[in-house]
Structures are given as structure tokens and as C-alpha cells.
Amino acid sequence: MRYRRLRLAGATWFFTVVTHRRQPVLCRTDVLRILSSVLREERLRRPFRVPAMVVLPDHLHCLWTLPEGENDFPLRWRRIKAKTARRVAADGGRRHPFWQARYWEHLIRDETDFSRHVDYIHFNPVRHGLARHPVEWPYSSFARWVARGAYPADWGSTPPDLPPHVGRE
């Protein structure tokens, strides 16, 4: 049976993307540099906004908002994953496969759903025991949200109200 993804133009999506066999390589300086560069390139080629993102050693979570009239996030992910894998291998890093073949997506339905997923993204390093507070984790959009006044710097002392379907990482 072929998996069919829902596609909705101009929508906001939550994604979980995982490394092959959960190899803890994403927070290496060389891999972060490559991933960041590839994301920037793809956003220039096929625009999308990234309201929130966190990179952990073996997976990442992010929200993407596609432009009006655009619905092809699978193409974007295919290109990002392929380019990242090729460049990491060319840089002397891990050979293919670098990523798990699939990723998980969730259509953001409303402002409450959006807020809960942003909280999930920012609380994820705490949830995995990588930091005691979200502000301590450097590979996250949390500091950007604090700078805009959306969160106090000490947010996350207690677990937020997280979406029930998230956490299948």
C-alpha cells in the first residue's frame, strides 16, 4: 500500500525527521553547518517559513509555513535530506543512509494547535534530558521567541500542555 500525504496549499505543518538508526550525529558542528546551509538554499529555491525548530542529536522537529498556492513539502524534504546526506558523506562523514526514509507530518489546524506545537518543539530538549530548561539548548529557535517577547527566558520549568499525538519519535 502506498502512503498518501495530505497536501494543503499555504498551510503550516509540524515535522519530525529522524536520522537512520537514530545515529546521534545532528548536533555535530560539521553536520549542523551543512544542514543549516542546505535549509537556507532550499528556502531560497522553494520558499517556506520556519516559525520554530529544534535540532537534537538524532532527530529534529520544525514547523513550516508554505507560501499561498504551494503544497509540495515532500519535494522540499526529499531535496533537503538528499543534499544533507551527500554533503555529510563528501565531508568525510557518515555514508548513506543518513536519514530514515520517512518523516512524520501533522497539519496545524488552528492557533491553539500551532502554539502547542511550538511549545513541544521548544520543550523537547528538556523532555529528552539534554537540558534542564529550554533556554539552555543552543540548537533551537527558543532564543528567537524569547527575544520577541513570546516566552519569558525561564519558560519550561514545568512541562507545558503538549499535543497528545506528538512524541512518536
DSSP label of 136: G
Handedness of CA 43, 46, 52, 56 (dihedral sign): negative
Active-site residue identified among 3, 103, 120, 139 = 139
For residues 104 and 16, the answer to whether their CB atoms sit within 8 Å is yes
Distance between CA 107 and CA 137 in Å, rounded?
26
Is 139 considered catalytic here? yes
Rounded to whole angstroms, what are the CA distances from 35 to 26, 69, 75?
Answer: 8, 26, 16
| Long-range contacts, stretch 80-84, CB < 8 angstroms, 24+ apart | 80/38, 80/39, 80/42, 81/17, 83/38, 83/41, 83/42, 84/31, 84/34, 84/35, 84/38
Catalogue the active-site residues.
139
